[in-house]
Amino acid sequence: MSPAPSASGPPPGSEEPPAPPELPATSPTWPGLALDRLGLTQAIGGLALGLIALFSSYDHLSIAGRNIPIPQQ
């Protein structure tokens, strides 16, 4: 029969794991939207690309070999 562990602490030779690091408390600039630097850069780039595509002078889209006409404003 093995000896029962004592209630005074951990068994000899074992150590308590270190406490997890504290995360800095940051508040998002917009409610519900917290982006890091890369996410913000990608969001701005996507917005710019979308506006360029929206206001470009193309009159059609070519998707999978098919032409889809875009009405001009």
Residue 16 lies in a domain: no
Residue 10 lies in a domain: no
Range of the domain at 61: 37-69
Mean pLDDT per segment of 10 residues, for the chain of length 73 residues?
A: 58 78 68 77 90 75 79 71
pTM over 0.75: no
Residue 19 lies in a domain: no
Residue 15 lies in a domain: no
Residue 46 lies in a domain: yes
Residue 9 lies in a domain: no
Residue 24 lies in a domain: no
Q: What is the predicted pLDDT for the residue at 44?
A: 92
Q: What is the predicted pLDDT for the residue at 35?
A: 76
Residues in the chain: 73
Phi, psi (rounded to 5 degrees) for 47: -65, -45
Q: What is the DSSP string of 8-61?
A: TSSPTT--PPPPPPPPP----SBTTB---HHHHHHHHHHHHHHHHHHHS---EE
Provide the domain count of the chain. Answer: 1
